[in-house]
Structure 1
Amino acid sequence: MLRNSLQLAVLSLCIGTFADRASAESGINLIVEGVRNEHRNILVLVFDNAAGFETLNYETVVDIAEIKAQSGSVRYTFGQLNEGPYAIFLFHDENGDDDLNTKGGRLLEGIGATGAPNRNDEPDFMGASVMPGNVTVRLHYDQ
């Protein structure tokens, strides 16, 4: 009886270790919600430092992606990002000029960030920080 209990304890420990390792090795599984159309791409910037994120300095990103836009939601996996914390900023580049377009202070394209469930949220790196796993970011449009 003691032997069976010991075997179960070892098996449970092994399964828990494997599950932890599997989730840590999965990277960031990003889900972008609220995409309004299929025009062009969603540009995603992933930062691992406050200075880069808070100034949106693309030269300091740890990873970047360009995802084909689809109405509703899109998914992308950053499989190599397994440490964290990370902060993500993204925008829907509807005209394909690789720039976030505005007019009169209003956004012409959608934006989103981790830690920003509402359009006017502007989280700092700590407020936007996420660890590897499933991460959902909502796009916000002014028009």
Structure 2
Amino acid sequence: MPNHRQRLAAVFISAAILAGGAWAASLVPGAGASADELRTGETRQGLSVTVKNIRNTRGQVIVLVMEDAHAYQSGNYEAAVGYLEIPASTGSVRADFPELAGGRYAVIAFHDENRNRDLDLEGEIPVEGYALSGARDAYDEPPFQRAASKDPTRTIKMHYLK
């Protein structure tokens, strides 16, 4: 059984891999809604993700949606089926993926405060916020079976360690 330090290191390493793959995932065609669609607040088919606990309005919140357990577990974020960059808003933001319906999805997000499309680290400690669906706390890295859900409406909490 991994100790607390090993679990924390695993979360940070996974977050670093996530950040590196975020740009590549942005190239997924049709992987997100437009800013106008996000502002309308319309009810849609598909997946709607609310990311809460955002500490400020700097930068953007990057949201990735994974449907493949192996890609999720191995950190292959280029295999994301959904990707959005949303202007940060204190409190919460919503990401709608109308093209994603009926699947079992895990959600990963981070608060890219300086807009460099990377989760910045000091050593192994993230200095920007991150969120994982199914995570029980800031140090939890849930397996795909717990992170993924068929629920079309999801809420995940951003965690900040610095």
Q: Same fold (TM over 0.5)?
A: yes
- Equivalent residue for 2:80? 61
CA distance in 2, matches of 1:55, 1:98: 20
CA distance in 1, matches of 2:63, 2:76: 13
- Equivalent residue for 1:140? 159
1:25-53 residue CA offsets vs partner (Å, 9 max, x unmatched): 62111110000001111111111111211
When normalised by structure 1's length, the TM-score is 0.79
- Equivalent residue for 2:96? 77
When normalised by structure 2's length, the TM-score is 0.70
2:141 to 116, 122, 137: 122
CA distance in 2, matches of 1:116, 1:59: 21
CA distance in 2, matches of 1:133, 1:86: 9
Find the residue that maps to 1:52 and give its secondary structure: helix
Between the two proteins, the alignment pairs up a number of residues equal to 119
- Equivalent residue for 1:16? none
Aligned-partner residue type, residue 52 of structure 2: E
Which deviates further from its counterpart, 50-59 or 86-95? 50-59
Superposed displacement of residue 132, structure 1: 4.0
- Ranges in structure 2 where 5+ consecutive residues have no aligned partner: 1-43
Superposed displacement of residue 92, structure 1: 0.4
Within-5 A mapping of 1:21-60: 26-60=45-79
Any conservation in 2 of the 1:117–1:138 contact (CA below 8 Å)?
Answer: no
- Ranges in structure 1 where 5+ consecutive residues have no aligned partner: 1-24
User: Over the residues paired in the alignment, what is the CA RMSD in angstroms?
Assistant: 1.2
1:95 to 114, 139, 148: 114
1:32-89 residue CA offsets vs partner (Å, 9 max, x unmatched): 0000001111111111111211233221111111111000011121111112101111
Structure having the larger proportion of residues in strand: 1
- Equivalent residue for 1:104? 123
CA distance in 1, matches of 2:79, 2:107: 12
Same amino acid, percent of matched pairs: 37
Find the residue that maps to 2:78 and give its secondary structure: helix
